[in-house]
Amino acid sequence: MNYYFVDTNIFLQCKDLREITWKEAEINDKSITLIISRPVQEEIDKHKNDSNRRRSTRARKANSILRKMIFNNGELKLNENETEIIIMFSPTYKTEDLKLNYSDLDIELNDDRIIAEALMFKSGTPDSKVFLLTNDTVPMLTAQRNGLDFVEIPDSWLLPPEKDNKDIIIDELQNKIKMLEKSYPEIKSELYFKDKVIDPKTDMIVLDINEYTQITSEFIKNKLNKIIDMHKKNTDFSESSENNIKLKTLGLFKNYYPPSDNLINTYYEDYDNWKVKLENWLLNYYKVSNNINNFFTLTFNLFNIGCVPANHLMIEFAAKGGLRFASPDNDENIIKLRNELLNPPEVPLAPRGNYKDARNTLVEEFQNIARFRDTFLDNYGVYPPIMNFRTPNNISRERNSFYWKNRPNDFSYIWVFECDEFMHKNEPENFELNLHVNDFNLIKSTLSIKIFANNLPEPVNKYYKINFNKTIVSVENDIDTILTQKY
């Protein structure tokens, strides 16, 4: 087992531990154990508030590693490809013991104390190899003279040199000059799918889709015949002899009045329409299933990182090759279609006759006439006031907001938005692109995005490639389940 005692530079002057190529220092261990001694901990803590910004930032980052180790029994594991990095605290050694055993070292100096702790650790683990990992020559020489092996940190691990104050001032001035030279907006954008930024040059968007297939005419015929046989058209509206006997047994003498011809004819029409609607429901089930599924949302973020607003900006989204945009009111449409899908047409109820006491028949006729008179007066005797609805001709719009240009009411292949003044150095504008697959014969599609503005030197064009990963799905089992529950 190999152990590497590190100095502070590994945290303050080198790349992140996960970014280091350990083989560059001829460290080929599959598991690398780094030991952090007490002097290194103290130096990291001291540099957290350093005036040097990079050093203080690196020290705070290293301190967060130490904090995690404290709450994880003094150990932390980092996995990087095939190499496992284990970080441990050095055992606690008394200063008196270190001075007694290593009198040639000045324990008050941090570098010498690190070497002394490494030597003490080595003496306690005779079967292991212990190294000092550093890029400073003084501790290398001290370790060598005291019988401790060392590994030199290669230059490739070191961070690039920091810029001095003059360099920083020059960079700031150059940036200001560039900003002053700009007199036009600079448009940037990002497209997200499943929380990943899509690069139009290299990435392909893959949509997993289900194609619901059309059912056979034989399946439709069998289902229709079975349901119609269960709910046959009623053609007998005569008095039930059984009901007549029950009434007479109870001493009730009532006249039977069958439903009117008008009610019966309406029922016949409703029944015939129900059969047509049921057949259409079966025929269109797969189409509706395809229309309420296979929706995908992409998020498009638009930035103006330039120095001036983009005047009269217009952005056009175009879906091509089997894709289309959902209606802006898509959620309501989906709910409506899903309800239609889950609720086949209701079987019309046949009208029923009724029984009336023969002695009250004349009285009821007069009452019906009176009710008709009152209803007529209520409906036609007083006229409601005419309401005057006006739609304002000019609706005020905020100059810095985006608005629809010809807002669609249904599926469409182009969405266009416009903004009078797209502000610079502001929060990005977010567009939720709700796409729907409507052509299953194609396997490739394209989303194009074009951005124009009056003061933009050239339009911005983006093209994203989209592929479909299709699965064929039968709807027969779903139909069986719905019809069984309904009828």
What domains lie within the chain, and their CATH numbers? 2-157 (3.40.50.1010), 187-209+295-330+397-486 (2.60.40.10)
| Contact indicator for 337, 419 with CB cutoff of 8 Å | no
Rounded distance, CA 414 to CA 431, Å? 14
pLDDT score at 390: 39
What is the per-residue pLDDT for 337? Answer: 85
pLDDT for 163 equals 75
Half-sphere exposure of 356 (CA within 13 A, CB side): 13
Q: What is the pLDDT of residue 407?
A: 93
Which residue numbers in the chain have pLDDT < 50?
A: 241-242, 251, 382-393
- CA atoms of 123 and 150, how far apart (whole Å): 16
pLDDT at site 421: 95
Per the listing, tokens 């940036």 go with 175
Sheet holding 323-325, edge to edge: 196-197, 187-193, 295-304, 429-437, 323-325
| pLDDT for the residue numbered 367 | 59
176-230 tens-digit pLDDT: 777 665 778 999 999 999 989 999 999 999 999 999 999 999 999 999 999 999 9
Of the CA atoms within 13 Å of residue 19, those in its CB half-sphere come to: 9
Instruction: Tell me the β-bridge partners of 130.
Output: 3
Q: Is-contact 198 191, C-beta < 8 A?
A: yes
Strand-pair category, 414-422 with 310-320: antiparallel
pLDDT at position 443: 83
Per-residue burial over 391-401, b if 16 or more Cβ lie within 10 Å, else e, is eeeeeeeeeee
pLDDT digits (tens, 9 = 90+) for 17-33: 888 888 999 988 888 99
The pLDDT of residue 475: 94
pLDDT at residue 28, as a whole number: 87
Cα–Cα distance for residue pair 86/84, rounded to 1 Å:
6
- Global confidence as pTM: 0.51
Q: What is the pLDDT of residue 178?
A: 72
pLDDT at residue 144, rounded to an integer: 95
- pLDDT score for 53: 82
Residue 8 · residue 133 · CB < 8 Å: no
